[in-house]
Structure 1
Amino acid sequence: MNKQKLAGLVTAALMLPFMSGMASAEYHADSDTGIDALDYIEEQHRTERENRLTAEQQKLLDDAKAMERNLRHPVDPKKAAPVAFEGEELTYDERDGSFVAKGKVDILQMDAHRFQGEEVTGNTKSQDVNIPDKAHILQMTPGQVRVTLDGYKAHYNYGAKTGSLEDVKGKAGAHYITGKRFEFYPDRIVVYDGTESKCGAKRPDYHLSAKKIVYYPNQKLVMENVKFHLRGRVILTKKHYETGVGAGASKKHVFPRVGYNNDDGAYIRWDLTFPLRKNLDANTNIFINTKDGWRSNYDLTWQNAGMKTGVRYGYFEDSDNEWIKKEPSAFWNYGDHIGKTHFTYGLNTEYGRWYGNGVHSNHGEYGVSLGYDPIRFHRYTLYLKTGYSITRESYNDSRVSGISGDAVLTKDFNERWAAYAGYHYSKKNRNNTLFDYDTDDYSKKLEGGFSYRIDDINRIAVGTKYDLDHSKWKNIDYYWYHDLHCSQVILRYKSRENKWNIRWQFTPW
């Protein structure tokens, strides 16, 4: 049988619609010097490193381009052939459309799919493909997640776009996945007895497992009978777990984080979300430390599009280790672009019973903000935002109102160096408000700093804050980020206060 003719008969739909758009990791410095502006740059660099092509991936892209240039369609020579089908032994029966390929079979699709096995059978009329033994699948299609999978007993109908694969192991994007059985449908993928993790070890330090996983591309991931595994132990079970995937999906830590600082002592933090119904979640943000004990908070939040509203209760800590207790507090936020422009606006309000600084007060805060989408030029990024807020307190019948303004400029020099500088103004400060939470003791400040990546697993950074009202330095903080096998350690030293903070966390989703 002529290889080119067989390539034309086996059409382009031999590849399966695998997972795409998994949420990326989130790393941050827990800083009050504005150094979190560099965390966004670090996140981009991590994504770039994760997306570096392996030799196998680069070869697939090169082969797909060469195929488009050189291999012609058997029916219409003016077109490129959609599929190249190679093997050491190829047979095809034109009477019923059946074919058999043996010995290092390689199916290459022009949209950068590769399908490999030692023996492939199928039928071009019924549009079925079967690999009874081991199958290797590679996907590099533009706009879809990069996939490398190994499994057994592969069956796929490229007309209906349905199929199955058993005993699967591999990688989708930055996530390592396994499953006893995958089922493929045009609008979803179903995995039975599956696991997923961002830890690539043979025995991952942490992973999620579920009896059933349903993946809706670029929408959501729904898991049933879920177990959260940490170092070989099940630390949490849920009947139902759901999270968004794709562009715009929220980033969060799935597993606990532990650490130490001078203000809290040793602590453990774990943020958990429990979906109640569409757009409505109950969130439990557990925080326990050795100095104060239980310092957790909870909220019931409804959100849709740019609107978020709900009720919060419990202890809240700002980046300067100042605490407040909400007993409870209701909130409402809304934000969107102004028409089709690059300008954005936000509306926010919060009202409730607050406790802090030894006093209780009915606290009300109302605000409006105006911003502009990040302005990027020559590896610089400029962030601009202004606003107006009103804060009222029943304890002393006070009212503080005024404008605020923020301008931050970052520079991504290269993969190793990054820097930032910012100016911030707020009428509200500790001298004219009742609570210290989330406020400075001055109105005007400058922030700035830099980070330097030493190697693939070590990064250092410096963050500073300068009080313009009193012309003095408030913070000069030093950071060291160290990546372990499947986790990260972040060490911070606040030199002006001689305080240490160390945090250890597993690689977050």
Structure 2
Amino acid sequence: MNNFHRQAACRAAAGLFILFLPLGAEAASSVSDISPEAPLRLEADQMSYQTQSGDVQARGKVDIFHLQDRYQTEYLYGNVHDKQYIIPGEVRWTAPEMNMTAGSASYNGMSNISHLNEMKGFYGTYYMQAEKAVFNRTENKAVASRAYITTEHAVAKVPDYRMEARTIDIYPNDRYVAHEASLYIKNFRLLTLKQFSGSLRQDESHVNMWSFIPRPDYDSKNGFGLKSSIQLPIGGSNDLSFFAHLAWYTQKGLKPAVGFSWTPSWGSWKLQYVKEESTVNDNHVWIEKKPDISFRSRPISLGLGSMYLGTEAGAGKWYEGSVHGNHAMWGAFLTGPSAALTKNISFHWRTGYRKDYYQYHSLSRSNFYYSMGIDGKFGSRWSAWTSFTSNHLHGETPYAFDTYDMEKPLNVGFKVQLTRLDAVGVQYSYDTADGNLKHVDYTYYRDMHSFTGWIMYREKDRETRIYIQPKDFRF
């Protein structure tokens, strides 16, 4: 075939490969269109183009490249006059955050709509499978029929958990909406909803159904417990949602967090009633907040090697035994990029400032803090870490809830992989303010396919804690 025919075939076939672009990372932008600034390159073992009839064919190893997307198949044919194109066999599409295949595909250039059969593969953390899918490039929307979604580590012949739906509307880099959706644990149907929406944004934790899966918990001070949570969009929007995070312990009873969240592109707001356990005081202090409103901005890139700035604020009424009153706070934080010290050792840091105001006795407290850490991996079995945090506190709090157990903790630990699924580790925690060894934690880790479980024994306090956490998302 001469150069004219080869170039003409490239131009004619180019229209076909627009069909996959709606799900691409750049699909919502005009730069995704085929143009001199964003050309499409087609390579094939054999190509032909009939000028009079408009028929075009490509055979053999067919490779199509456009921006960061790559499409691979063995045969395609179509017609440039009626703009109908067919891939009768399997086609594979790869891109950043994407690895999809389809058993066959077709594209109508007049309507800018493509059809795919037996589609399956990964979109970020999600794994999707559908009998059929229709992509409308003009609307930047895909509709998958008789489909299910799960996550990367849950994939199996029968996934550990999955969400099946009659149809799933996909809005790239924004959200998905599942209609007549059911949540399964293996073959057990746990929950059915008329409609459910989840996030496909890459800069936030995904809103998902998986957190509704009940999971056990144990702590020597709280007792045996069960946790479950769900987040449901309101009014068809993925920005506004109702959430309920429920925990029940044999020794502490019900500990709920129930409210509404709003997550526009510039931050997240939360209005809730919550019974919350302290994260800075190791004495298992619980506080009741009714109500509590909080704001946290999305990290703002400073353009200095992945350095980010964030802000936060909150207000509410706190109840801790006989101590209660209004509380307000504001703060800002700065995080830097993880820096590789060697091939296997990295350094990370964070700093910030926080100011708290307490109605009780008109108290206030400020905290300028910074933390830094080093993580290393040595061979295929050993890993180690050390971290240090310094809190510079001025003023005081009337609550045990936000009283620091250690103001300047130093943690040193290591972990060894015993088998493919089992590991053990030890961590020592020192309070550098007084030089005392505060905690010695012995931990056993177990890989549970789509979940990770661990049992921690805190020697000096004689406490045992059991955790189960999914690999692909956070409860």
- Same fold by TM-score greater than 0.5: yes
Matches within 5 A, 1:302-381: 302-319=262-279, 320=282, 321-334=284-297, 337=300, 342=307, 344=309, 346-352=311-317, 354-356=318-320, 358-374=321-337, 376-378=339-341, 380-381=346-347
| Most deviating of 3-12 and 208-217 | 3-12
Aligned residue identity for 1:183: V
SS of 1:470's partner is: coil
**Structure 1 match to 2:43:** 84
Are positions 1:427 and 2:393 aligned together? yes
What's the offset of the Cα at 1:155? Answer: 1.2
In 2, Cα distance between equivalents of 1:126 and 1:400: 73
In 1, Cα distance between equivalents of 2:300 and 2:97: 29
Q: Which runs of 5 or more structure 2 residues have no equivalent in the other structure?
A: 26-38
- Pick one of 172, 186, 196 that aligns with 1:217: 172
Matches within 5 A, 1:106-125: 106-111=61-66, 113-116=70-73, 120-125=76-81
Q: CA 1:362 to 1:494, structure 2 compared with 1: closer, same or farther past 3 Å? A: same
Give RMSD over aligned pairs: 3.4
CA contact (8 A) 1:169 1:177 kept: yes
Matches within 5 A, 1:287-298: 287-298=247-258
In 2, Cα distance between equivalents of 1:374 and 1:410: 13
Q: CA 1:310 to 1:172, structure 2 compared with 1: closer, same or farther past 3 Å? A: closer
What's the offset of the Cα at 1:338? Answer: 9.3
Q: CA 1:10 to 1:229, structure 2 compared with 1: closer, same or farther past 3 Å? A: same
Q: TM-score, normalised by structure 1?
A: 0.74
Q: CA 1:361 to 1:206, structure 2 compared with 1: closer, same or farther past 3 Å? A: same
In 2, Cα distance between equivalents of 1:232 and 1:287: 25
In 1, Cα distance between equivalents of 2:303 and 2:91: 42
CA contact (8 A) 1:149 1:171 kept: no
- Pick one of 159, 168, 178 that aligns with 2:129: 178
**Structure 1 match to 2:35:** none
In 2, Cα distance between equivalents of 1:110 and 1:344: 36
Aligned residue identity for 2:410: L
What's the offset of the Cα at 1:409? Answer: 2.4
SS of 1:496's partner is: coil
What's the offset of the Cα at 1:460? Answer: 4.2
What's the offset of the Cα at 1:146? Answer: 3.0
Aligned length: 435
Are positions 1:226 and 2:230 aligned together? no
Q: CA 1:438 to 1:160, structure 2 compared with 1: closer, same or farther past 3 Å? A: farther
In 2, Cα distance between equivalents of 1:303 and 1:174: 20
Q: Deviations over 1:155-189 (max 9, x none)?
A: 12367652112233344444332112100121122
Q: CA 1:368 to 1:173, structure 2 compared with 1: closer, same or farther past 3 Å? A: closer
**Structure 1 match to 2:97:** 145
- Pick one of 390, 408, 412 that aligns with 1:444: 408
In 2, Cα distance between equivalents of 1:267 and 1:337: 38
Q: TM-score, normalised by structure 2?
A: 0.79
Q: Deviations over 1:246-279 (max 9, x none)?
A: 4312246723332322223332222211222453
**Structure 1 match to 2:55:** 98
Are positions 1:496 and 2:460 aligned together? yes
In 1, Cα distance between equivalents of 2:12 and 2:418: 50
**Structure 1 match to 2:433:** 469
Of structures 1 and 2, the one scoring higher in RCO (CA 8 A, sep 6+) is: 1
**Structure 1 match to 2:33:** none
- Pick one of 352, 368, 389 that aligns with 2:355: 389
Q: CA 1:437 to 1:137, structure 2 compared with 1: closer, same or farther past 3 Å? A: farther
What's the offset of the Cα at 1:343? Answer: 6.7
Q: Deviations over 1:436-480 (max 9, x none)?
A: 224324533323434455665445443332223332122222333
CA contact (8 A) 1:227 1:237 kept: yes
- Pick one of 10, 13, 16 that aligns with 1:14: 16
CA contact (8 A) 1:393 1:434 kept: no
In 2, Cα distance between equivalents of 1:82 and 1:339: 35
Q: CA 1:456 to 1:426, structure 2 compared with 1: closer, same or farther past 3 Å? A: farther
Q: Deviations over 1:123-164 (max 9, x none)?
A: 2333322245xx3222234xx333232334x21236765211
What's the offset of the Cα at 1:197? Answer: 0.9
Q: Which runs of 5 or more structure 1 residues have no equivalent in the other structure?
A: 22-79
Q: CA 1:264 to 1:131, structure 2 compared with 1: closer, same or farther past 3 Å? A: same
- Pick one of 119, 123, 148 that aligns with 1:168: 119
CA contact (8 A) 1:410 1:421 kept: yes
- Pick one of 197, 217, 229 that aligns with 1:271: 229
In 2, Cα distance between equivalents of 1:333 and 1:91: 57
Are positions 1:301 and 2:270 aligned together? no
Are positions 1:247 and 2:205 aligned together? no
SS of 1:443's partner is: coil
CA contact (8 A) 2:290 2:316 kept: no
Q: CA 1:338 to 1:12, structure 2 compared with 1: closer, same or farther past 3 Å? A: closer
In 1, Cα distance between equivalents of 2:205 and 2:445: 23
In 2, Cα distance between equivalents of 1:441 and 1:99: 72
CA contact (8 A) 1:20 1:246 kept: no
CA contact (8 A) 2:248 2:254 kept: yes
Aligned residue identity for 2:334: G
CA contact (8 A) 2:97 2:122 kept: no
Aligned residue identity for 1:190: V
SS of 1:427's partner is: strand
Aligned residue identity for 2:165: A
Aligned residue identity for 2:218: Y
